[in-house]
Amino acid sequence: MSEKLSEKSSEKSVIVFLGPSLEIDFARSVLPSADFRPPAARGDLEKAAAENPDIICLIDGVFFEQCSVGHREILAALKKGICVVGASSMGALRASETELFGMIGIGKVYELYKTGTIESDDEVAVICDPLTNAAVSEALVNIRATLEKAVLESVLTKDESEILFKEAAETYYPDRLYDFLIEKARETKLIDAGALDRFEKWISEGNAAEIKREDAIAALNFVRQKTEEE
């Protein structure tokens, strides 16, 4: 009995803020022992840090409808010796802003923010189902990656991808859906109809990039490795 208690007490405690970037069931399969919580708002990291976990992993956070996670609460957690990891969405943005103070950034979205390729939180914002937290629009950062992939695979030309990206960037974030963007492009007739048909078919076959999801998985795997360290 004493051996089991000792073994349990040595496990690292983890709090993860997760929403539309990754399905919760899949996340739990990667990191079963973590305490998963909804997207973080201002003050949520402060409350989490007060519980003295070993690791806080910030993936998703609120953007426009509530106050976002503050830099001070991240810095306060780091000062307490808590490992703070960020990826995919709000986590990637905040990690790029506080990495000099010790926050760990993971993944492609984090690198895009870190290098200045993207700057706005609008790049990762999506509208969510209020009951499930599932995304019902597409993040601009995913659209960006999808269009780059489409060019590499000769589905679109570079000029065509730039036209579609401009449309996406100018579209209010809740309305960003591939079908909507393709329909807008058909109306403007700035892209050949055949190219749009080809792109639409390619998307329907599951070729759209999901870098936010990939980054969330990478972050959870990183945290899992951290929990296994002596």
The answer to whether residue 134 is domain-embedded is: no
What's the total number of domains in the chain? 2
Q: Which domain holds residue 45?
A: 2-126+211-228
Q: In the prediction, which pLDDT does 19 show?
A: 95
Residues 55 and 104 in one domain: yes
Do 110 and 222 belong to one domain? yes
| 95 shares a domain with 14 | yes
One domain for residues 115 and 183: no
Whether 39 maps to a domain, the answer reads: yes
- List, run by run, the mean pLDDT of 10-residue segments along the chain (230 residues): 40 94 96 96 96 97 85 97 97 97 98 95 89 89 98 97 96 94 94 96 97 98 90
* Residue 106 and residue 56 share a domain: yes
pLDDT in tens, 169-182: 999 999 999 999 99
In a domain, 181, yes or no: yes
Alpha carbon 227 to chain centroid distance?
22
Phi-psi region of 102 (alpha: psi -120 to 50; beta: other; left: phi over 0): left
Asked if residue 118 and residue 30 are part of one domain, the reply reads: yes
pLDDT at 6: 36
DSSP state of 121: G
Helices H / strands E in the chain, number of each: 11, 5
Same domain, yes or no, for 32 and 80?
Answer: yes
